[in-house]
Structure 1
């Protein structure tokens, strides 16, 4: 079958399968099967079995279930609720006051959960009732949570960076390091916007709360120590070369279990519940990866990626023009697919043309994650929007409207990262070149 006919057919099969409610993994396998039967001389069944096994037997993926389980344990422990009370005294005198707790809380929790949805759900359950009871503007309370919840994709240990590293055979340790400075930059952009908004809308800010004593502030800070200690232990063990990402994930799980047990906040039922949730999430991601690995080789047989790369190459796009085009492409994809699905579905097609344009694959991983973060707050398929809709009862499009300024800040972050690529490349180049 001619490529001009086959490519539209595969797009129709993909979106048709998704529209029918088929799981993403099944949808990817269906597209791969159609591609194989239409264009491949090899037997599809044999290729399917070989590629699925090969796609799953990747050592780097062993870190995935451990980091997911660590986040599930923390969601069910008292450590997450201690973060709000621990951060509040330190933001009370900043313009925007307790609105910054959403940003800082999400940044901290993202560093131990690796999941955007888990970060949004955990911080949202703590912060939104508190902010509402103290008279903070709903638009900003919900918007800051929706935007900051996306940190779970970027700030290491990030599940989606593990998936990208496994799919592209890039160093996960380097990807984790590359995500640190862009993650901090994004948190600063969000914090700066909150300050600017609060100064421009003083009438929509509640009265300042009573100043706390130094002793109360120190007591609150002590509540942050367990979470900060866990972050330092997990991330530090990777950066210092003491442990691989997989070994660090195991350390993180043990640390989370010990801390949860010390606080008495995780019983036997909670432990089994965390295991069940982590297993379900891991299986979902593994199934998507299995389908994507089969689709990758099927697309290779069709020649579509090669022709697409040649077509873009003939357009003579500069690296900036290519990145701008990809940004728009990924934003549109994010309206229909979740972040992990976008990465595994597109990276095998996109990466060859990106490297041919002289773009570093480690840098591109951070760029891709930043753009995919936008998919978390874009309807109709925005997982952060789903989570906040469940917590607040607001409809998805209202939540998306509240999150719109932070979508704009994500676009700004992508532009800054594109102009200053060293923001992502300096740290891994410095730390891992020793």
Structure 2
């Protein structure tokens, strides 16, 4: 298969299914999957939502199912550098040919719906979801680990009846869509709870827990709560080689975790609890699963730079905790960019004081136009701030500035672009299409 075929189908997807255009409701995805023969039925799914941590928990669950001997798939969003990151089979990305085959298979059914009218035309994310379920059927997978795109109740992944529903955290995010309070956001995320299906929840505000527990009670679903029904402890924090113990129905000790950060304590525990509600945990398989679990751009050391997102205040808080944990008393510099609809002040007041120098740049996204506004806010919280709108020039400048540790942070759009550039020496055609 030629590279051109992959690029052509990407152009089709980004141009006919506008990226970042949201369509709420499940009727389109239900109708699309029905036309496809309902490929999502008959698979054991873990369904994961939450304000932060859902990508890590989904990754951990994918690895746990795989290393316990199953044929598995994983579905993630958004992607960082390539759309292939959204689709995993047995912990590896699918290849371009598999992507094109799945996209072309879904295309004929999606276009049948386009003809009914705009309201029935599947969105970009609905198309991705349909592709994932098709791939899961083609690969004859027994288990699938599915990360919710946004919210839960009306997310297109919410057509499944999983073996376990997971809600990692609740914080104020996507308030224009999900609501302005913890209770409202918890209600939307609790929309993934299905009748009689157990629910695993992480640490979150008490008012959010009450909403989730009430909905679970109505649906006859047992709730397993972090700190009450299961827990974990840190044995040691060491960059790229952290060690934890888990306490649930089983006790598993000395679990090596490659993913960095204090928040991985909770993510590890949530994933293990979710898995052990379905199958027995085996210590060696658990250790293999976590030592191999990896997510690009999540406090990752790549080409001498540490890449990590801090796109909302909660993520920024976790980022700052990680800096202090692994790199205290080091001279630190960073390249930072954020989209305009995020809480810039809330993020920068947390991360700004952590850096000797902060370079402000523009993430490659239409929602990132007010770079001067970001620059002015940054100057309130960091003593030395440089404005460099071009992110590629920004990373080259970052390399030249004196510092013990250097970071790329803020929007994942920025991290994806820079990681691709560092890996390939240029920005791939795929990224120029999507942005």
TM norm. shorter chain > 0.5: no
Tell me which of the two structures has the higher relative contact order, counting C-alpha pairs closer than 8 angstroms and 6 or more residues apart.
Answer: 1
| Structure number with larger C-alpha Rg | 1
Which one has a larger percent helix, Structure 1 or Structure 2?
1
Q: TM-score, normalised by structure 1?
A: 0.29
